[in-house]
Amino acid sequence: DFARLDARFRLAPEVWTALPRYADWGFAVFQLAPDGDQKVHPMAFSFPRRDPSRLFFPTVHVHDGEVHGHARFDHKLFYQARRDAPPPRFEPGVPTTMPEWFTSFGPAERFVDTARARGVIDPTRHVRGKAMFGELANDDVWVQDPA
């Protein structure tokens, strides 16, 4: 019920018209304190998937009351699959480019304070991630069969 949100966070009816695919979706709204500079910790949430074969990252941007075809991104997306995949292999001295999605070189417990994550992160599994920077298509990100 978006009508209950602070007016600053409500989306105009024109935005909903431009995004009809979200008509029957649920949303999580994070409202941060307005007190100047803040250190914001990563936010995570889970919900039942509409399509169990795909993982959904809500990345469509609406910042000025309009839905644009492209938007400026500065995001890092992370997930853990139900089954671990081996990390990518890189040969010493051989030039390489970073794959679209990367896999950590070790399980999460090597680089995440998993106790503070309170069960959101499996310490024994690798983490997969993707960096999204620059002017990109303004769309959500889906991972096909993230098992």
Provide the whole-model pTM. 0.74
Evaluate if residue 20 carries a pLDDT over 80.
Answer: yes
* Token couple for 101: 């999605």
pLDDT at residue 74 is higher than 80: yes
3-state SS of 68-97 is: CCEEEEEEEEEECCCCCCCCCCCCCCCCCC
pLDDT for 117-135, tens place per residue?
A: 888 899 999 898 888 999 9
